[in-house]
């Protein structure tokens, strides 16, 4: 016990020096649903991060769709690489704002663990299939995974994460919740930056866009002009990567500066004051927000609704819908851990839990095992 108290004291002292007053300090955590002794040398949010990284749901993100399925090749982002990129961007922002990086990393690593195979297409199918038992939302399912479905510890169900990490996921479900901790806001902002830059990069690599078309978007054009003013004669591939780097730098720098200004103007001096503030504090400047919306509208029309993307999405939707029907009619074929919950949750929810845990390639392989489900 003495070692734990000494470790907690060291952590509190270190955070008192490094973190801003409005950051979430580990010693102020609201704890966990199931009480545990403090760890002798890891803080509560570091333990959360480690538990998420070692979970099976996190590992499966490596083979789950971000935007493009595996049919497009293997260059593009998966849910796992997207998650790691969000964590990297978020930690950079958090460090500059003197926030709790361990909490930020845990929040970032967890934010997409509830996604089913085939990205938002898979979510749409499962939501429709489960409309009579509450629907399906990947944010809500992430909470279900880490509080119930992951069984890695003998003392409690789920991962028994801190209430701050669970709160971060809850704010994505209930949009009306008061403005959350700054660490939660940082992860949301980093997620948006990752989408805006990396989805375009993937689309260029896959040939769904050409660079000249994308340069018609103001944010990309300004970044490209900056790069071309410094480097002459870059080939298209090198130019593209340099623009991506510049764009991330521009978005992060703008976010940090505009957030710092809001914090100074609002005179917030504690995490509780963040929760009572009337607007998000971690946000880009007004001018950058306009540019981001322009880029996001372009990506929606030219990438997310590209005919090739929609065609692959249709295949994925049909596969998942057919598998749902198959297992509802043959629930005895579910793995034992999912069969064990049918009496409590019902067949539809049990089948949904199983399908949502699958990777893209495993779901498609099951179509081969059950040829009767094919269209």
pLDDT category, 275, cuts 50, 70, 90?
confident
Which range is least confidently modeled, 48-57, 72-81, 174-183? 72-81
Query: What average pLDDT does range 5-11 have in this prediction?
Result: 76
Give the domains, in start order, of the chain with CATH numbers. 2-373 (1.10.3210.10)
DSSP string, 15-49: HHHHS-TTS--GGG---BSS--PPPSS--HHHHHH
Query: What residues form DSSP beta bridges with 231?
Result: none
Which pLDDT score, from 0 to 100, does residue 1 have?
54
Is the pLDDT score of 226 beyond 70?
A: yes
Which pLDDT score, from 0 to 100, does residue 368 have?
72
- What pTM does this model have? 0.93
pLDDT category, 46, cuts 50, 70, 90?
very high
Distance from CA of residue 224 to its chain's centroid?
A: 28
Which pLDDT score, from 0 to 100, does residue 74 have?
59
Is residue 162 within 8 A of residue 100, CB to CB? The reply is no
Neighbours of 44 (CB within 10 A): 26
Closest CA to 80 of 215, 72, 17, 88: 88
Q: Collapse the DSSP code of 98 into the 3-class scheme (helix H, G, I; strand E, B; otherwise coil) and give the result.
A: coil
Is the pLDDT score of 11 beyond 70?
A: yes
Integer-rounded Cα radius of gyration of the chain: 22
Which pLDDT score, from 0 to 100, does residue 71 have?
57
Closest CA to 145 of 352, 360, 305: 352
Is residue 196 within 8 A of residue 299, CB to CB? The reply is yes
Question: 93: which 2 tokens?
Answer: 């922002």
Query: CB burial class (10 A; 0-12, 13-18, 19+) of residue 96?
Result: middle
Q: Is 135 left (phi over 0), alpha (psi -120 to 50) or beta?
A: left
pLDDT digit string, tens, across residues 326-351: 999 999 999 999 999 999 999 999 99
pLDDT digit string, tens, across residues 193-222: 999 998 888 888 888 888 889 989 999 999
CA distances from 223 to 41, 79, 148, 350 (A): 44, 26, 45, 48
Mean pLDDT of the chain: 91
Which range is least confidently modeled, 100-109, 184-193, 223-232? 223-232
- State how far the Cα of 295 lies from the Cα of 217, in Å rounded to an integer: 6
- State how far the Cα of 169 lies from the Cα of 163, in Å rounded to an integer: 10
Query: What average pLDDT does range 253-267 have in this prediction?
Result: 96
Which pLDDT score, from 0 to 100, does residue 375 have?
39
Which pLDDT score, from 0 to 100, does residue 75 have?
57
- State how far the Cα of 64 lies from the Cα of 363, in Å rounded to an integer: 10
Which pLDDT score, from 0 to 100, does residue 245 have?
94
Percent share of the chain, pLDDT over 70: 93
How does DSSP classify residue 113? T
Which pLDDT score, from 0 to 100, does residue 244 have?
93
Which pLDDT score, from 0 to 100, does residue 374 have?
46
Is the pLDDT score of 246 beyond 80?
A: yes
Q: Which residues of 254-264 are buried (b: 16+ CB within 10 A; e: fewer)?
A: bbbebbeebbe
Is residue 194 within 8 A of residue 82, CB to CB? The reply is yes
Closest CA to 33 of 154, 160, 196: 160
Helices marked H in the chain: 2-18, 44-53, 56-60, 79-96, 101-110, 119-129, 138-144, 163-173, 182-205, 211-214, 218-230, 236-266, 271-276, 286-299, 307-329, 336-339, 342-345, 347-357, 360-369
Question: 61: which 2 tokens?
Answer: 């993100």
- State how far the Cα of 102 lies from the Cα of 79, in Å rounded to an integer: 21
pLDDT digit string, tens, across residues 137-147: 999 999 999 99
Is the pLDDT score of 373 beyond 70?
A: no
Q: How far apart are the first and last CA of the chain?
A: 62
Query: What average pLDDT does range 5-25 have in this prediction?
Result: 89
Which range is least confidently modeled, 149-153, 216-220, 359-363, 371-375? 371-375
Q: Residue 150: phi, psi to the nearest 5? A: -70, 125
Is residue 315 within 8 A of residue 338, CB to CB? The reply is no
Query: What average pLDDT does range 112-125 have in this prediction?
Result: 92
């Amino acid at each position: 016990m003495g070692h734990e108290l000494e470790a907690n004291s060291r952590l509190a002292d270190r955070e008192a020096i490094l973190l801003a007053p409005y950051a979430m300090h580990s010693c102020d955590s609201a704890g966990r649903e199931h009480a545990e002794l403090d760890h002798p040398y890891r803080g509560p949010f570091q333990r959360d991060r480690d538990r998420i990284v070692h979970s099976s749901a996190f590992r499966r993100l490596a083979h789950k769709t971000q935007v493009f399925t595996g049919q497009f090749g293997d260059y593009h982002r998966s849910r796992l690489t997207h998650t790691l990129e969000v964590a990297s961007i978020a930690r950079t922002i958090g460090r500059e704002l003197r926030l709790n990086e361990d909490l930020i990393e845990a929040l970032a690593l967890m934010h997409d663990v509830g996604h089913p195979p085939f990205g938002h297409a898979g979510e749409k199918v499962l939501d429709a299939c489960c409309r009579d038992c509450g629907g399906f939302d990947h944010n809500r399912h992430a909470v279900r995974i880490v509080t119930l479905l992951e069984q890695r510890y003998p003392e409690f169900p789920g991962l028994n994460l801190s209430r701050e990490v669970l709160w971060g996921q809850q704010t994505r479900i209930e949009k009306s919740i008061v403005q959350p901790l700054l660490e939660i806001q940082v992860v949301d902002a980093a997620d948006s930056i990752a989408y805006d830059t990396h989805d375009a990069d993937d689309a260029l690599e896959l040939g769904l866009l050409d660079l000249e078309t994308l340069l018609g978007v103001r944010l990309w054009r300004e970044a490209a002009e900056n790069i071309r003013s410094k480097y002459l004669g870059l080939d298209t591939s090198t130019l593209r990567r340099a623009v991506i780097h510049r764009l991330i730098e521009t978005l992060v720098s703008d976010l940090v500066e505009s957030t710092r200004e809001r914090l100074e103007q609002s005179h917030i001096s504690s995490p509780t004051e963040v929760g009572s503030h009337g607007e998000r504090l971690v946000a880009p400047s007004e001018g950058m927000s306009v540019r981001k919306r322009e880029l996001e509208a372009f990506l929606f029309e030219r990438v997310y609704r590209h005919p090739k993307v929609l065609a692959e999405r249709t295949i994925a939707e049909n596969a998942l819908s057919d598998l749902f029907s198959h297992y509802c009619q043959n629930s005895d074929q579910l793995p034992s851990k999912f069969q064990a919950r049918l009496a409590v949750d019902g067949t539809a929810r049990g089948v949904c839990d199983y399908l949502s845990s699958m990777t893209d390639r495993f779901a498609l392989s099951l179509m081969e095992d059950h040829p009767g489900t094919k269209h």
